[in-house]
């Protein structure tokens, strides 16, 4: 059976291209402690990692009044742009290889536009992405599908022809709900349970080679998908 063909690839940022988990968890735990409670492991897994800040505030800080929740969001907005990060293995290399081969790429993230731009510049791949969706551009963030629907639209694709790389169950849920096919990045067993078709430990595990229709992606040397070159026939 031939590998499925996609028109573009959409990448999440945190957990896919960069590792910011420690910094993000520390930020939210400090905010919770400042309001007199401890953030549980369940809260982190279900309502922090991969979720929009608005979702986290609604789910975890629901006991606060409107003013209190807005103050929490304001604190996140102030701290978020300079969050520390480490590159994920193979991320910049995969993005560079795909774009050099003419594949349309988009970034779909809950990070602010400022932080996304800073990170992509430091990774050397800022110009590789033809479209971005960042924090605040959709009414409902992940796990809602809105951000992936917008990302596909900005690339001129339908979601069903987009291959998404996501690291959190909430992000996988958002991509799959939009109609996209998702690759889960990381070891969380909930990625497959949330709808990821394949999983990889990191992007270094994704091989590439030229093919007749575009760039062939392979896992453990087995072709699993083809990303069409921009301008090539369907």
Check residue 43 and report its DSSP letter.
Answer: H
What pTM, to 2 d.p., does this model score?
A: 0.87
| pLDDT tens sequence across 160-196 | 999 999 999 999 999 999 999 999 999 999 999 999 9
Q: Are 217 and 226 in contact (CB under 8 A)?
A: yes
**What's the whole-number average pLDDT of the chain?**
93
Distance spanning both ends of the chain, measured CA to CA: 18
Q: Residue 50 — very low, low, confident or very high, per pLDDT cuts 50/70/90?
A: confident
Distance, CA of 180 to CA of 162 (rounded, Å): 6
Q: Residue 220 — very low, low, confident or very high, per pLDDT cuts 50/70/90?
A: confident
Distance, CA of 7 to CA of 189 (rounded, Å): 28
Distance, CA of 37 to CA of 14 (rounded, Å): 26
């Amino acid at each position: 059976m031939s590998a499925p063909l996609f028109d573009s690839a959409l990448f999440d940022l945190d957990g896919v291209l960069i590792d910011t988990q420690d910094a993000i968890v520390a930020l939210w735990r400090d905010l919770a402690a400042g309001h007199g409670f401890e953030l549980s492991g369940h809260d982190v897994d279900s309502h922090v990692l991969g979720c929009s800040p608005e979702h986290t505030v609604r789910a975890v800080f629901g006991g606060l009044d409107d003013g209190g929740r807005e103050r929490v969001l304001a604190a996140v907005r102030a701290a978020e742009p300079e969050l520390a990060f480490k590159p994920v293995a193979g991320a910049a290399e995969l993005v560079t290889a795909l774009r050099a081969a003419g594949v349309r790429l988009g970034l779909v993230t809950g990070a602010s536009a400022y932080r996304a731009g800073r990170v992509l510049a430091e990774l050397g791949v800022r110009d590789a992405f033809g479209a971005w969706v960042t924090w605040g551009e959709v009414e409902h963030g992940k796990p809602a599908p809105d951000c992936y629907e917008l990302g596909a639209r900005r690339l001129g694709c339908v979601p069903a022809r987009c291959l998404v790389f996501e690291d959190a169950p909430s992000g996988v849920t958002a991509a799959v709900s939009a109609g996209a096919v998702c690759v889960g990045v990381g070891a969380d067993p909930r990625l497959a349970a949330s709808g990821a078709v394949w999983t990889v430990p990191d992007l270094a595990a994704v091989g590439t080679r030229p093919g007749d229709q575009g760039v062939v992606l392979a896992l453990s040397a087995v072709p699993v998908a083809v990303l069409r070159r921009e301008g090539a026939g369907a």
